[in-house]
Amino acid sequence: MNEWISLGQVVPYLSKVMDIDRTRQTVHNWAVTGVTRGLGNRIYLKTEKRAGQRYTTKVWVREFVDAISA
C-alpha cells in the first residue's frame, strides 16, 4: 500500500533517503510545471489533490527521480 506524503514531506525524504537537497518550491514545480528532458518532453512528479493540498507517494518520488536522472 502506498502511503500519501505531502510535498513538504518530500524534501526530507529526498535528503535522507536519496541524498538529494531540494526546496519545497522545487518539489512543487516538479508537480505543476514538470522538468523538460530530451526533445522537449516534460516529466511531472505524480500527485493527487486531497482537501486542497497536493500529495504524492514515495514510489512516485522514486519513479520521478529515476526518470529525470536517466
Q: What is the CA radius of gyration of the chain?
A: 12
Annotated domain spans of the chain: 4-69
Look at residue 2 in the predicted model and tell me its pLDDT.
Answer: 76
Q: Which three cell numbers stand for residue 59?
A: 514510489
Return per-residue pLDDT of the chain as tens, 70 residues: 679 999 999 999 999 988 889 999 999 999 999 999 888 899 999 999 999 999 999 999 999 999 998 7
In this prediction, residue 18 carries a pLDDT of 85
For residue 47, the Cα-to-chain-centroid distance in whole angstroms is: 8
Q: What is the pLDDT of residue 1?
A: 61
What order of strands is seen across the sheet that includes strand 4-6?
4-6, 53-57, 48-50
